[in-house]
Amino acid sequence: MLDKPFCKLAMLLCVLLFAWMPLAWADDSLSIVYSGNLDGELEPCGCSAEGNFGGIKRRATLLQQLREATPDLLVVSAGGLLSTDGPGDRLKGDYIFKGFVLLNYDAVGVQWRDLAYGPDFAASASLPWVLSNSGARKDAEKTPFSASRLISRGKQRIRFFSWLDAADSPLQKMQGQHSLVDASPKKFHAALQRAKKDGELTVVGTTLSSKQFAEQIGLDNIDVLIEGAAYEVYGEARKENHTLVVQPGSRGMRLGRLDLTLRAGRIVDWQHTVLPMPNSIADAPHMQAWYDEYNAAVKADYLQRVEARKKQESGKSPFVGEGVCQTCHEKQHKIWFDSQHAIAYEDLEDVNKAFDPACIQCHTVGFDQPGGFFDMNVTGHLLGVQCESCHGAGRAHVETAGSKALPNADWTKEKICAQCHTQPHSPGFDFNRYWLKIAH
Ligand code: HEC
Ligand code: HEC
Ligand code: HEC
Ligand code: HEC
């Protein structure tokens, strides 16, 4: 026996339930392939079976297969593509960027190692770079990186961010370069909040650990945090409060995959898989032209080095290096040796810039001139600002036991300094004060 009010209530409940049900069933899915820290591993060296994982050509094949199976796949990298350990690394870096362009990533975070050859070097590769806390650059140019990237996949809108840790900057010691990043998370917080309000899924890449990130910046409004890589192996995916935290492995040996179940813009379930790239994954044929070009460039670079060394060893270089000047000018040498000029190259190494031609030119002897500084291995006797940086190439002077004057003998002192003590690099330069510090 049903009375009328109860019937009405039941009907109302039914209506409500039906109206609500589609919402409850509206779980959506999203698959993300993520990576980070290629660390300059364009390809595995193949020296051992255990280490034979990864490489850009295999990655291209794997990504192609994954995209064919899951057309709405999102592919992002936390960045860290380059290494800067040796003279060939800049050339390799150039090809890593070019190779990554062919992989069609949806977003790539900017890490300090990606900036090792200057922001313009990275920006010249047309990669979907993201740097969410960039500051104003010293030359008042806008930074060339996007603050975030919005990517649509099916019904989902995903916004990728990348946080660069200011405290980790190798440029800390350099005047004016601090402004490359903004250490304050204020703008970043606002952007995250806006993204969540607009119903976007937020993904953040960083080199910090999730613990450091939570302490320094906070995890509010972050759905997925790709924390800093620690080792070759990927970490376990885990929830920290509302944030799903994943940790890529280093050296580009594997890829991580997240299959997410989403409800109303929130992650309600996830599956995490790590995809290794052993040599059973074939190299992608469409990467072959890129790879051939890279090998040709490496060979040309090597031959150039051999030529430079031959020139040095046959004694044809007009530069001799400070050690030779010392034999006759001990007094001047002693004063020079104790000056900042003598450690100018070490200071470049300290800021990870010892391979950047834009810096080397003033921190070595005769860079880019015939027989001048070429690299650490071939021309290790021409490091730093030496006698010949100021007096000019000294071979003829030496071979005539001092009777032939040095090339810059008729230059004024001021003109000598002005080669390097320019306004942008030495804003406080005052000849009288500076000369006193190095007078010999
Ligand atoms: C074999 C000995 C010897 C060596 C090696 C030598 N010099 Fe001299 N240098 C002399 C003598 C001797 C004089 C004095 C010449 C004179 O007064 O006419 C001189 C004079 C100079 C002068 C002042 C006159 C001028 O030409 O400007 C400079 C500067 C100088 N040397 C720099 C250098 C530098 C730099 C090197 C290394 C690249 C070097 N010397 C290596 C012997 C040497
Ligand atoms: C035009 C010449 C020139 C170029 C190019 C140049 N530098 Fe310098 N650099 C200088 C001079 C000059 C000083 C000394 C400034 C002073 O004390 O007044 C200096 C100083 C430095 C110092 C020492 C700062 C300290 O406090 O001890 C570092 C580090 C440095 N430069 C790094 C770089 C890097 C990195 C680049 C490339 C991005 C670069 N330099 C490019 C001329 C140059
Ligand atoms: C930063 C630039 C600079 C460097 C580095 C430098 N010199 Fe000089 N040197 C000068 C200038 C400038 C003078 C003075 C020239 C003048 O008086 O017009 C000078 C003068 C000299 C003189 C002549 C001294 C005299 O008593 O008249 C000698 C010799 C000399 N330098 C040798 C050397 C040697 C050897 C080295 C390396 C160990 C060296 N210099 C490094 C800039 C430099
Ligand atoms: C080939 C480039 C070059 C030339 C030429 C040059 N400098 Fe330098 N100078 C440098 C660099 C680079 C540094 C920074 C070295 C470092 O600390 O790493 C420097 C640093 C100095 C410093 C130390 C600054 C400090 O804060 O204590 C003095 C002083 C100085 N130079 C004086 C002079 C004078 C004077 C002349 C001209 C006679 C001169 N330099 C010519 C490149 C040059």
What count of residues does the chain have?
440
Instruction: Compute the average pLDDT of residues 265-277.
Output: 95
* Contact 413 CB / ligand 3 (< 6 Å): yes
Q: Which pLDDT score is estimated for 16?
A: 52
Give the model confidence (pLDDT) of 165-175 as tens digits. 988 887 765 65
What spacing in Å lies between the alpha carbon of 175 and ligand 3's midpoint? 28
Residue 176: left (phi > 0), alpha (psi -120 to 50), or beta? Answer: left
Determine contact, residues 80/67, Cβ cutoff 8 Å. Answer: no
CA distance 113 to 204: 18
Which residue is listed with tokens 């003829």? 396
Q: Which pLDDT score is estimated for 141?
A: 59
User: Atom 43 in ligand 1: which residue has the minimum CA distance?
Assistant: 402
What spacing in Å lies between the alpha carbon of 397 and ligand 1's midpoint? 6
Give the model confidence (pLDDT) of 310-329 as tens digits. 877 787 799 999 999 999 99
Candidate from 332, 340, 426 with most ligand 3 atoms within 8 A of CB, to mutate: 332
> Which ligand lies nearest the alpha carbon of 360?
2
Q: Which pLDDT score is estimated for 47?
A: 82
Please state the atom number of ligand 1 nearest to the C-alpha of residue 392. 35
pLDDT band at 22 (very low <50, low <70, confident <90, very high): very low
Instruction: Compute the average pLDDT of residues 48-53.
Output: 84
* Contact 39 CB / ligand 3 (< 6 Å): no
* Contact 43 CB / ligand 2 (< 6 Å): no
Please state the atom number of ligand 2 nearest to the C-alpha of residue 171. 35
* Contact 415 CB / ligand 3 (< 6 Å): no
Which residues contact residue 278 at a Cβ distance below 8 angstroms, ignoring those fewer than 6 apart? Answer: 52, 53
Instruction: Compute the average pLDDT of residues 417-439.
Output: 93
Amino acid (1-letter code) at residue 44: P
* Contact 325 CB / ligand 3 (< 6 Å): yes
Residue 1 has pLDDT above 60, yes or no: no
Give the model confidence (pLDDT) of 181-219 as tens digits. 889 999 999 999 999 999 999 999 999 999 999 999 999
Backbone angles phi, psi at 4, to 5 degrees: -60, -50
What spacing in Å lies between the alpha carbon of 329 and ligand 1's midpoint? 7
Residue 333 has pLDDT above 60, yes or no: yes
Instruction: Compute the average pLDDT of residues 133-141.
Output: 68
**How far is residue 224 CA from its own chain's centroid?**
21
Computed on alpha carbons and rounded to an integer, the radius of gyration of the chain in Å comes to: 29
CA distance 220 to 222: 6
Give the model confidence (pLDDT) of 210-253 as tens digits. 999 999 999 999 999 999 998 899 999 999 999 999 999 999 99
Q: Which pLDDT score is estimated for 74?
A: 98
What spacing in Å lies between the alpha carbon of 318 and ligand 2's midpoint? 25
Which residues contact residue 35 at a Cβ distance below 8 angstroms, ignoring those fewer than 6 apart? Answer: 76, 77, 78, 248, 252, 254, 255, 256
Query: Angle at CA 256, nearest 5°, toward 253 and 258?
Result: 175
pLDDT band at 177 (very low <50, low <70, confident <90, very high): low
Q: Which pLDDT score is estimated for 29?
A: 95
What spacing in Å lies between the alpha carbon of 390 and ligand 3's midpoint? 7
